Structure 1
Amino acid sequence: MKKRLWSRWILALAVVWPCMAAAHDRVREKENFDFDWKFILNADDRANAGMQVSEAGWQDVQLPHDWSISQNFDPKLSGSNGHLPGGIGWYRKTFRVDKKDKGRRIAVLFDGIYSRSDVYVNGQHLGFRPYGFCYQEYDLTPYLNYGAENVLAVRVNNPLEHDSVARWYTGAGIYRHTWLVKTAEVHVASYGTYVTTPVVTAERAEVRVRTSVANEAKRTKTLSVRQQITDGEGRTVVQSGKQTLQVAAGQTADTEHTLEIPRPQLWDTEHPYLYTLHTAVY
C-alpha cells in the first residue's frame, strides 16, 4: 500500500486579488519586468541615474542577474561570496506607461537586490536598502511620464571585501525577479495576505485570513472587504460577509475573516488538490 504524506493536515490555498477598489477601477496587474535591462560594472557615477545617459559599453542583461559569477576567482576575497569579486554595478531600464494608466498607482517591486541598493526613476531617488534578502517596493506614480519614455536606474554596492553576512553564496546584483505593479489607489498591500488553518480534519477546515489594505488616496476611505474560497474547478465553496473599515490617507489597515470549508479535500503528494482564496475590496 502506498504511503500518503500529511494528508490529514494540509489544506492547500492559492491567493489572488481579482476585484477592484471601486466599480470603475481596473484590477491589479503585475507585469514581469525582467527583460531589456542595461548593466555596467565598476563605472560608478551618480549621473547614471539620469534620463540622458550614454549606454555605450553597457551590457544587455535579463533578470535575475548576478555579476559576480562571471568574474575570476580570487582566494584573497571573502569565502561568503565564493571568493568572487563584488564592486559597484548599475542597472538601467527604459520603459513606457500608457496614458490610460494615469490615475492608477504604479510601483516597481524587486524580489531581491544584493546588496546596498539605491533605486531611481527619471533621476528621482526613491530609496536606499542596505539589506539584500527581502523584497522592496517603490511608488513610481508621482514621477512618471505617461505615454513617453521613463528610465529606472538601480545602483548596487557589493564591496570587494564582503562582510560575511551569509553562510552561503550571495552573488551580486538584482538576483531575483522584478515586477511592475499597477493597482487602484486603494488596494491589497503587496504580500498583504496572511492565511492560517488552525483546524483541519476530514469533516471541516477552518481558514483564518488577515488582509492588509493600503489607502494611497489623499483622503480617508470607507471600505468593505470580502473573502471567497473556490475549489479546484472554480466553484464557490464559501464566502464571507463584508467587513467594513475606515483607512486614513496614506495608511494601511487590517481585516480578519474566518471561513469554514465542510469536508475539505486535503492535499497530499498523490492528490495535490488546490483551493483558491479571492480577496475583494470595495
Structure 2
Amino acid sequence: MNEFILDLITARGWSIRHLGELTGISYSGIRDYLKGLPQRLSKDRLSRVLDLLELDMEGGLKSNTLYTWRIEIQEKRLAALNRVLQVTIERHSKPDTDTNASPKTNTQNKFEAIPLLGGDTDGLPAPYWMLLWKEIYILIQWRLPAASQVKKIPNFHDQNDKNSHNLPIVHPDIKTISSIFWAPGMEISTEKVIGIQLTTAQLSQLKKCDTTETLKLETLKAWLQTKPSEDYFWAAAQTMQQEPVSWTWEMVLQRLKHRYIRPEEAAKILKLK
C-alpha cells in the first residue's frame, strides 16, 4: 500500500510534506510509512490519508468514483502514473485458470483513454483525458512543464527547457504510458486528432471542479455519450507553424461552428450586441 500511495502523490506532483499538511500528520510519520515502516502510522492516521486520496481501506482506487488529477508531463510523474494504473489493473484482474480460454488481447488489461478536446493549449490538443477501466474513472488534466529559471541570473533560462514550444507536437505521447490505449474511434497523432469536443460551458465546469465545485460522475458520463469528432483544424494548425496561412471569412466561420454548438455562445464570446 505504501508504494502505491507514494506513486500516486508523485504522479500528482505532491510532496510528502504537502500530504502531511493536508492530513495534519507529521512529515516524519508519513515519510517513514511511505519508505516501508507501516508501524509509523496508526490506523486512525492512515485512514486520514486514505480518505484524502479517496482510496479504499486496502489502499486502492474505488469503483464508481471520479478521480480528478492534475499531472505535469514529466518523465518521473508519467512513470509513477503508469505504475498506479498497472497496480490497479493487477489488483482487479482475476487470474485465468481456464487453460482452454483464448488469449487476452493487449488492450483488455489497459485503461481506455478518451481525449477531451478544447482549450487551445499549445502542445496539448486534448488538455483533459478520461481514463476508464472496470468502472474506475480518472479525469486527468495535463500540464506542460514550466520553464525553469537559473538561480541568481535574472531573465536567463536553462537552455534545455526554456522553450516549451519545442516539445513534441503531440503531448503527452501515449506510447510512454504502457497501461493506456486509445478508446475505439479515438486518436491523437501529428496527422489527426479525434475525441470528445467540449463546449465552452463544459470547459469552464472542468476548470472549476478542482477548486470550487465537484464534478459529478453522472455528469461526466453524459458528456462521454457525445459522438467523437475530428478536430479538422489540427492539421491546419501544424501547417501554420511552418508557413503562414491566409484566413478567409469562411475559415473563421467554420472554426466558430466547430467550437461552439449554438451561435449564441459564439456571439457572447465575441461580445456581439
Q: TM-score range by the shorter chain?
A: under 0.3
Q: Which has the higher helix share?
A: 2
Q: Which has the higher strand share?
A: 1
User: Which is bigger in relative contact order (C-alpha 8 A, separation at least 6)?
Assistant: 1
User: Normalising to structure 1: TM-score of the pair?
Assistant: 0.21
User: Normalising to structure 2: TM-score of the pair?
Assistant: 0.21
Greater radius of gyration (CA): 1
